[in-house]
Amino acid sequence: MPDFLTAALYKFVDLPDFAALRAPLQAYCESKDVRGTLLLAEEGINGTIAGPAEGVHAVLAHLRSDPRLAALTHKESWSQKLPFYRMKVRLKREIVTLGVPGINPNQMAGQYVKPQDWNTLIADPEVVLVDTRNAYEVGIGTFAGAVDPHTSSFSELPAWVQAQSAPGGLLAEKDGKKPRVAMFCTGGIRCEKSTAFMRTQGFEEVYHLEGGILKYLETVPESESRWQGECFVFDERVSVVHGLATGHYDLCRACRDPISAADKTSPLYVAGVSCPGCHDKKTEEQKRGFIERQRQVDYANRRRQPHIGAKLPSSASAGAEEND
């Protein structure tokens, strides 16, 4: 059996004292040899942690000891290698950044649809199926028939919805009625917020996949699946497939996008420095920084020592911590 347990979790809940929770939570995770990223905000908690099973379960129990988090749910998967290098507990304005004030998923989110019922819903030709994830995530896998908004960050989704709501758009009214919309994301958190936003825009029939793609891949047999490709995840596994087994993608250490075996055969791919997608987008100064970092990684590998990476240039690390 694989050695390390990964738990993805989130909960929208009022945490006015979220800043005071940070240091004790960081210390507790470290005491249990658990690594990963947890985001705290006034609106709740979001993150993924990994480590020995007993350590991960202890952290989950610790979180649920707070009555406000007693109903916290999580999704589990296993891996042979620890998928995180550090433990980070961070304070945020939002646990997933939409950038629209007044959105409260606890009061406004759309209707949950269980994974076993999802296929029936999205088979309806009257339902507009929207992938709320970023373009680099959609690029390696999505549901058959899903619309890709081609966003580079979640905060771009509201503008896309408003543009597509205009006459002639995918979300435009027909006969005075807005269409039924189904939305999905990796673990469920972006869907809760996006469907809440949709309701503020007058969409009455909005649905989202309960537990996200990860729960669908865990629950629905591959023979019955409408999922195509792999699912990007925000840790060192990079992607997962049905049954939440680790997928076949690697990560470009310069732009943080997933790369395939074919990408690595491109003359524009340089390990740790560039991939076909970012080779022409990085400055020479950035590339020199990446080359130095890769030199340190190679040195650590030769000595069979762990290397947790030099600090990335700000443009390269932007968005790397978005967690779903």
CATH (domain of 48) = 3.30.70.100
The reply to whether 191 and 257 lie within a common domain is: no
Residue 114 belongs to some domain of the structure: yes
Out of 185, 255, 275, 278, which one is annotated catalytic?
185
- Give the DSSP letter string of 1-65: --SEEEEEEEEE---TTHHHHHHHHHHHHHHTT-EEEEEEETTEEEEEEEE-HHHHHHHHHHHHT
Domain boundary among 181, 197, 229: 229
CATH value at residue 169? 3.40.250.10
pLDDT at 321: 39
* Statement to judge: residues 81 and 156 lie in one domain: no
49/117 same-domain check: no
Average pLDDT over residues 125-143: 97
Asked if residue 151 has pLDDT above 90, the reply is yes
The reply to whether 78 and 116 lie within a common domain is no
Q: Is 185 an annotated catalytic residue? A: yes
Confidence band (pLDDT; 50, 70, 90) for 318? very low
Are residues 191 and 130 in contact, defined by beta-carbon separation less than 8 angstroms? no
Burial (CB < 10 A; 0-12, 13-18, 19+), residue 51, is buried
Instruction: Examine residue 100 and state whether it is found in any structural domain, yes or no.
Output: no
Residues 217 and 155 grouped into a single domain: yes
Q: Domain range holding 225? A: 105-229
Contacts 24+ apart (CB under 8 A), 141-149: 141/227, 141/228, 141/229, 141/230, 141/231, 141/232, 141/239, 142/227, 142/228, 142/229, 143/184, 143/226, 143/227, 143/228, 144/226, 144/227, 144/228, 145/226, 146/122, 146/184
pTM reported for the whole predicted model: 0.86
- Examine residue 236 and state whether it is found in any structural domain, yes or no: no
For the segment 156-198, what is each residue's pLDDT rounded down to a tens digit? 999 999 999 999 999 999 999 999 999 999 999 999 999 999 9
- Distance (Å, whole) CA 299 – CA 3: 26
Q: In this structure, is residue 272 part of a structural domain?
A: yes
How many structural domains compose the chain?
A: 3
Check whether residue 212 and residue 273 sit in a common domain: no
